[in-house]
Amino acid sequence: MCRAVKVLCVATDEDALVRLRHASVGAGWELVSGAIDLRGALDQLDVERPHALVVFGPFDDLVALAAERFPGMRIITDRDTPGASVVATSIEDVRELLAEQSRPGGPVR
């Protein structure tokens, strides 16, 4: 049985997060709550265990930590950031870049 790809969006403020979540919505994946700061993002990484992370804003520490702790995670950013899998040239690119994420396999727990 296939499971949905979980996606965590992180942006600099609530309005930006709403826009990023809207740009990230897709039938093939599930969005988790999202965060606007490092602590909130790290908490959701630990609890939700998303398969993909979409980060728009100056969150270099978050990207580095996520890449180190979850080496298989696809990390999409809006800027060249060490640890990122790919850079979105605009918010409109996010959905297409997420569609390239392979679906997780294995039993559902």
Which pair of tokens denotes residue 56?
A: 């728009």
Mean residue pLDDT across the chain: 90
Q: Is it the case that residue 109 has pLDDT exceeding 50?
A: no
How does pLDDT run across 1-40, given as a tens digit for each residue?
Answer: 456 789 999 999 999 999 999 999 988 889 999 999 999 9
Q: What integer pLDDT is reported at residue 5 of this predicted model? A: 85
Q: Which residues of 40-54 are buried (b: 16+ CB within 10 A; e: fewer)?
A: ebbebbeeeebbbbb
> Which has the closest alpha carbon to 70: 94, 53, 86?
53
Higher-confidence position of 85 and 109: 85
State how far the alpha carbon of 66 is from the alpha carbons of 9, 47, 75, 109, in Å: 13, 13, 8, 23
Domains in the chain: ranges and CATH: 5-99 (3.40.50.2300)
Q: Is it the case that residue 107 has pLDDT exceeding 50?
A: no
